Amino acid sequence: MEEPQVTPLSELGPQCEAQRERIRKLFESGAGARETLRQLCELADGTIKKVFGELLRVRSAPAQGMALLALGGYGREMLFPYSDLDLLFLFGNEKAEDEFRPLISEFHAPFGDLGFRVSSAGRTLDECRHIQESNSEFHLAMLDRRFLDGDAQTLRKIGHQGLLGPKNRPGRCCIRNCSASPANAWRAMATRSSISSPT
């Protein structure tokens, strides 16, 4: 009987399970909550980078024009057990989006078996700008963004397109939206505040 092929991704399942068990035992033996959340975040980061890197290697495709970002609580490195991994595939333009869409479909496949729940979206820089003009919650989520992998230059263009103000403060489009719809802005702030302060 032929032995199953061992690949970098096929080895990830046992590695993730072993790391989760190690983190759980450390927590039960007295490790603090923040340290536990940090270690869970590091486990997710490492797993995502391995999956993403392996897909790029197999496809022989450098990630030029695409950045992979963590958002929300995951972006703030506050990853609770069983929380979703909120990800954004940020494309520099429509050409990059067309090129990498098949890779994104492949990217999601392994994570169920690895014990992660991934929630992701793909947006071009222009789409992000248009969404934020009418959606303050999306803008607030972008303030919590964290670069994971891919083309860092694509991420730097966010500031150049007016999506964020100086030092990651809300850009003009978000301020206009909050002023025009205080109720929506309050709900967005309340949502962000509630997930920023774990009990």
> How is the beta sheet containing 85-91 ordered, strand by strand?
118-124, 85-91, 66-70, 146-150
**Phi and psi (nearest 5°) for 79?**
-100, 110
CA distance 141 to 45: 18
Question: Looking at residues 89-112, what average pLDDT do you find?
Answer: 91
Q: What is the pLDDT of residues 142-189, one digit of tens each?
A: 888 999 999 999 988 876 454 554 444 444 444 344 344 434 443 443
Q: What is the pLDDT of residues 109-155, one digit of tens each?
A: 999 889 999 999 999 998 887 775 667 777 777 888 999 999 999 98
pLDDT at 183: 43
pLDDT at 61: 77
